[in-house]
Amino acid sequence: MTAAKKKTATATAGANGPKGSAPEAGSPVNRHNFEESMAELERLVTHMEQGELSLEEMLENFERGMALSKACRQAIDEAEQRVRILMEKEGDQAIEPFREHLSNTARPDEELP
């Protein structure tokens, strides 16, 4: 393995420690490791922004980043659905998206929390 490929493999596999602490490069993202996936995504972006990768390495990192992003978005969507289900069970039907709620309730002279 060349030094550049080894560097890329380290960046994409994560720097959190031994195997299993973060998803391996190319492996699907498990919803149970959302935080590790987000951290890996941040490392990938930082590594890519440094501009020291070959085109092939950049594409590999980009592809992994897109997979991580999609899986993280799916995990967020699933969490939102679970919250909706729990709220409905409690009889609270007035569920609004958080960001819209903040922008609709704040007065112009009032700071958002």
Contact 43, 8 (CB under 8 A): no
**Token pair listed for 84:** 């909706």
Question: Would you write out the chain's pLDDT as a tens digit for each of its 113 residues?
Answer: 444 444 444 444 443 333 334 445 555 555 558 999 999 999 999 999 999 999 999 999 999 999 999 999 999 999 999 998 888 888 766 666 666 545 555 555 555 55
pLDDT of residue 24: 55
pLDDT of residue 50: 95
- Name residue, tokens 């958080």: 98
The burial of 113, by beta-carbon neighbours within 10 Å (0-12 exposed, 13-18 middle, 19 or more buried), is given as: exposed
* Residue 90, CA distances (Å) to 4, 28, 61, 96, 110 in order: 54, 34, 43, 15, 31
**Does the model's pTM come out above 0.75?**
no
pLDDT of residue 5: 47
